[in-house]
Chains A and B, each alone.
Chain A
Amino acid sequence: MSNPFFSSLAEFAKGRDSRKFTIEEVARYFMSRTEQLNPSLNVCLSLNENAINRARQLDARLARNGADSPFFGYPIMIKDNLEMEGFPTTCASKILEGYISRRTATSVARLLSLGAIVLGKTNLDEFAMGSSTENSAFGPSKNPWNPTRVPGGSSGGSAAAVAAGLAPLSLGSDTGGSIRQPAAFCGVLGIKPTYGRISRSGLVAFSSSLDQIGPFSGSASDALEALVAMGGRDSLDMTTTERDPGEMRRDFAATRMEETQIGIPEVLFGEGLDPSIRKRLLELREALGGKGAREVPVTLPHSAYGINVYYLVATSEASSNLSRFDGVRYGFRVKNPADLRTMYEETRDAGFGDEVKRRILLGTFALSAGYQEAFYRKARKVQSLIRKDFMEAFQHCDAILTPTSPTPPFAFGEKTGDPLSMYLSDVYTITANLAGLPALSVPVGLDGQGLPVGAHLIGPPWSEGRLLKLAEFISALYPMPLPEVHAGHPTVKGPGDRG
């Protein structure tokens, strides 16, 4: 996260405007660091060869007209399921081989229009389906804290990029925890906004009713500015809100820890949670109490069914969304198919990886004649109960605190043989998607093995500003050491574990 130029977006803007450094110097620093470390971390799937040129042009514009946004010249990376005109979008899948985007995602376009520089596109689990980046057709990314561990997923490349200091901010997407779990695993902040806060136009759809785009950053205030920049109505995504994204800044400024009621679903701190994570979270609860926050017990009785509901709803939508990959209009096609049907079937069999096929099949089954009532419809009913539980809980509290992940970052291969055990890594994050709620993961130090631990805050709809302010308070309690990453052999600096 650290770099020789600035420690936050605001500091970047100040240094840029006072000519302490040029935009080009900053872009060159991050680009060369990425070129040096990417071969060992496998975080970027493609780099923007035009980034330095753009930086130079922005410097020239700065000299003429000054800058009107902190993002003017700010280097970022984006997950490779977000489209950017003229660049490949692979979704880490063989089926998009050779595909070049001809449009730019609204979220990315809004940052670009403010002057941001996209340095590269980051690795992910294929079509954002997974919790480790091990489902990438281009090999997994490494966790900058420990190269034998996964960075989490599916937005693992974006999380690792920020943790390893390859970019100060990156974008990911979150359908069941794909921003928050890798944020926890890599020791950075990651937020999934309220459904409808940010346009999904140009995000390759996985599960349209659950997908949201959000940032990874080193600080809550940087994430806030990114959300404000990307948020708001977009005619290309009819689910985007009319609300003013500026409300998040106002809520951020107005939030005080001493007036905050933190909902605690005690059952989620019990069985199934790694003891070293529990220890960190219990310390956090005590520390928040010391700052004047009040704990409120809440029950979310139907959250226990979150995984069940998710793997029916998300796979059903995925089976429909991924039907567009048929070898006709773009991407990969098998050579010399016998007929049209064979072309579809063999292209999809060869183009999709195992997890994507599994989910397409599961979703197709859940929607198929004779099973739709027993599986899909039932899941949608339980989903409405999960949402109702949250709305009732938020009558009594401002935010709900849980762990982000039940385990620390796991080893490569540890869960790939058992899809269900991989699915369970999302047990705490998945319900926020099912209820459309904003939620974030904020680092709360390291566990006994020197691996990052994340705390998870879920809020009522449109409460991103407040959640981020609470995350800022928490960050102040847990100054994070930095992973020491070397080309060729990433190593970890002393854990700095506080017992």
Chain B
Amino acid sequence: MNLSKSDVLHVARLSALALSEAEVDRIAGELSAILNYVEGLSSVDLSGIPAEEGSRLPTALAEDLPVQSLSTDWALAGAPDRSGPFFQVPRILEEGR
């Protein structure tokens, strides 16, 4: 299948990626070529075939033991911006709301 520019913009929004106009054009072509290739899967008869589930083993569970959690400073040490014990990001709510 071929992706249009608006398809790419929709997926870019879902992916939280701002794409430039030039990127959108180029990527629409590249993704269409890849999708047309992977669509070769359509020629496989899949009636009654279960999807791969990865490991057949039961889910391994961690022991339920109390452990030290991350300290605030540890968690914030790499943050591009912080305010006291918090990650700081641009304002989400407008003033007065």
Interface residues of A (CB under 8 A from B): 98-100, 102, 195-196, 209, 235, 238-239, 302, 305, 307-309, 311-312, 319, 323, 326-333, 337-346, 348-349, 352, 357-358, 360-362, 364-365, 368, 375, 377-385, 387, 419-420, 423, 434, 436
Closest to A96 in B: B78
* Contact A302 B44, CB 8 Å, known A235-B62, A380-B51: yes
Nearest 4 A/B pairs, CB to CB: A330-B78, A345-B18, A333-B80, A380-B51
Assembled-state Cα–Cα distance A305/B40 (Å): 8
Assembled-state Cα–Cα distance A323/B17 (Å): 10
Interface residues of B in 50-91 (CB under 8 A from A): 50-55, 59-63, 74-75, 77-81, 87, 89-91
**Residues on the A chain within 8 Å of B34, using CB:** 311, 358, 362, 419-420, 423
The winner among B46, B52, B55, B59 for most chain A CB atoms within 10 A is B52
Interface residues of B (CB under 8 A from A): 3, 7-8, 11-12, 14-20, 23, 27, 30-31, 33-35, 37-42, 44, 46, 49-55, 59-63, 74-75, 77-81, 87, 89-92
B47, chain A: closest CB distance, angstroms: 10
B35, chain A: closest CB distance, angstroms: 8
* Contact A349 B19, CB 8 Å, known A328-B87, A358-B30, A365-B11: yes
**Residues on the A chain within 8 Å of B31, using CB:** 358, 361-362, 365
26 contacts between A and B (CB under 8 A): A99-B78, A195-B55, A235-B63, A238-B62, A239-B60, A307-B38, A308-B39, A312-B41, A328-B80, A329-B87, A330-B80, A333-B81, A339-B90, A342-B18, A342-B90, A343-B90, A349-B17, A357-B17, A357-B19, A358-B31, A365-B11, A365-B31, A375-B35, A377-B51, A382-B44, A383-B52
A137, chain B: closest CB distance, angstroms: 16
**Residues on the A chain within 8 Å of B23, using CB:** 349, 357
Are A196 and B55 in contact, with the CB atoms below 8 A?
Answer: yes
Apart from A352-B17, A357-B17: 10 A-B pairs, beta carbons within 8 A: A195-B55, A305-B44, A307-B37, A333-B81, A364-B11, A368-B11, A378-B41, A381-B49, A384-B52, A419-B30
Are B16 and A381 in contact, with the CB atoms below 8 A?
Answer: no
**Contact count A vs B, C-beta below 8 Å:** 153
B70, chain A: closest CB distance, angstroms: 9
A234, chain B: closest CB distance, angstroms: 10
Are A309 and B41 in contact, with the CB atoms below 8 A?
Answer: yes
Are A361 and B33 in contact, with the CB atoms below 8 A?
Answer: no
Assembled-state Cα–Cα distance A195/B54 (Å): 10
Are B17 and A330 in contact, with the CB atoms below 8 A?
Answer: no
Are B17 and A348 in contact, with the CB atoms below 8 A?
Answer: yes
Assembled-state Cα–Cα distance A476/B50 (Å): 44
Closest to A335 in B: B80
* Contact A360 B15, CB 8 Å, known A327-B80, A333-B81, A420-B33: yes
Closest to A349 in B: B18
Are B52 and A364 in contact, with the CB atoms below 8 A?
Answer: no
**Residues on the B chain within 8 Å of A358, using CB:** 27, 30-31, 34
**Residues on the A chain within 8 Å of B3, using CB:** 365
Assembled-state Cα–Cα distance A421/B43 (Å): 21
* Contact A308 B37, CB 8 Å, known A100-B78, A235-B63, A329-B78: yes
Assembled-state Cα–Cα distance A326/B34 (Å): 26
| Main DSSP-derived SS at the B contact region | loop
**Residues on the A chain within 8 Å of B15, using CB:** 319, 348, 360-361, 364
**Residues on the A chain within 8 Å of B41, using CB:** 305, 308-309, 312, 378-379, 382
Assembled-state Cα–Cα distance A450/B19 (Å): 43
**Residues on the A chain within 8 Å of B11, using CB:** 361, 364-365, 368
Assembled-state Cα–Cα distance A364/B18 (Å): 14
Assembled-state Cα–Cα distance A188/B53 (Å): 34
Are A102 and B77 in contact, with the CB atoms below 8 A?
Answer: yes
CB < 8 Å neighbour of A361 from B17, B46, B91: B17
Assembled-state Cα–Cα distance A323/B31 (Å): 20
Are B90 and A311 in contact, with the CB atoms below 8 A?
Answer: no
**Residues on the B chain within 8 Å of A337, using CB:** 90
Assembled-state Cα–Cα distance A333/B33 (Å): 32
**Residues on the A chain within 8 Å of B17, using CB:** 345, 348-349, 352, 357, 360-361
Are A380 and B14 in contact, with the CB atoms below 8 A?
Answer: no
Assembled-state Cα–Cα distance A323/B15 (Å): 8
* Contact A361 B12, CB 8 Å, known A239-B55, A305-B40: yes
Assembled-state Cα–Cα distance A344/B38 (Å): 30
Assembled-state Cα–Cα distance A331/B59 (Å): 33
Assembled-state Cα–Cα distance A311/B8 (Å): 17
Assembled-state Cα–Cα distance A380/B52 (Å): 5
Assembled-state Cα–Cα distance A403/B48 (Å): 33
Closest to B14 in A: A364
B48, chain A: closest CB distance, angstroms: 10
B75, chain A: closest CB distance, angstroms: 8
**Residues on the A chain within 8 Å of B49, using CB:** 381, 384-385
CB < 8 Å neighbour of B89 from A340, A348, A361: A340
